[in-house]
Amino acid sequence: MRRRWDRVDATLVDSRFVERKLYSSERSGSFQIWEYMVDVPGPSGGAPVRLTFKEKTFKVRGAPERGDVVPVLVNAKRTKAMFDLSDPRIDGYGWIVTQEKRRKERDDARFEARRAGREPTPDPEED
């Protein structure tokens, strides 16, 4: 458990492939492990600190690119960091759940508008 770790936005400096691993024998397939380098704001607004950490690709949404702002958890001493996988900007599964929720809300609103006999308002995301 990462108690007392701060949630901050960091800048992705670089990333590199580390290794490919196989799932357990019950499931076929593989996943990759990548190492990420980020610049984390220093404590109390001090100079940024550069940290590295490893993460499995199936947990990370998309492939963050150099210069992207990414959500991370960082310890108070600024010696360890990891992606904040509770943030849908980086959490692959959380992003899918968020998108499904938005789609359901949009579909329900459209359906109920038509049930009430009025034309639904257009959704800007559908353009």
Q: d(Cα 55, Cα 4) in Å, to the nearest integer? A: 21
The reported pLDDT for the residue numbered 25 is 65
81 close to 38: Cβ distance less than 8 angstroms: yes
For residue 125, pLDDT over 70 is answered with no
The whole-number average pLDDT for the span 70-99 is 84
Instruction: Kindly list the distances between the CA atom of residue 52 and the CA atoms of 37, 49, 76, 84, 113, in Å, as whole numbers in the listed order.
Output: 4, 10, 16, 14, 50
Per-residue pLDDT at 103 exceeds 70: yes
pLDDT digits (tens, 9 = 90+) for 32-41: 888 999 999 9
Between 93 and 55, the higher pLDDT residue: 55
